[in-house]
Amino acid sequence: MIYRFTCIVCPLGCSIEVEVEDGKVKEVKGCRCPRGKEWAVQEVTSPRRVVMSVVPVEGGALPTVSVKTAEPVPKEKIPELMKFLAKLKLKAPVKVGETVAEWEGIKIVATRGA
């Protein structure tokens, strides 16, 4: 199986090809740097993303505070995380950078104050 994508590590945007056989990376072609290669391998073996959303807050200036995960989470787990976030409710005061919840060991951090 060959995966083709555009590298996003830097603005160069190399066209990368990753060949995978029996769940193992055989060859990585097209990238011009080691960081791109590392990213490409991660992208085919276990892609991760930082996830952001908003959760309702009571007593703040705005009805929501924005949050993000403190680290990238496995892509296939994102829908589950979103369900967890949909149930959260916070009360003001909330500070920027405060951990407002934790999900499977991953911290959920407020990115706006309330």
20-28, 45-53, 100-108 -> range binding other proteins (CB under 8 A):
45-53
Give the count of residues interacting with other proteins (CB under 8 A): 28
Picking from 1, 50, 42, 47, the residue whose alpha carbon sits closest to that of residue 21 is 1
76 lies in the site for other proteins, by CB under 8 A: no
60 touching other proteins, by CB under 8 A: no
78 lies in the binding site for other proteins (CB under 8 A) = yes
* Integer Cα distance of 108 and 26 in angstroms: 36
Alpha-carbon gap, residue 14 to 17, rounded angstroms = 10
The residue within the footprint of other proteins, chosen from 28, 51, 73, 94 (CB under 8 A), is 51
The binder of other proteins chosen from 29, 66, 74, 77 (CB under 8 A) = 66
68/107 Cα distance (integer angstroms): 8
Asked whether position 33 contacts other proteins by CB under 8 A, the answer is no
Q: In what order do the strands lie in the sheet with 24-29?
A: 2-6, 15-21, 24-29
- Angle in degrees, CA 82, 87, 91, rounded to 5: 120
Contact residues toward other proteins (CB under 8 A) are 5-8, 11-13, 49-54, 56, 61-64, 66, 68, 75, 78, 82, 96-97, 111-113
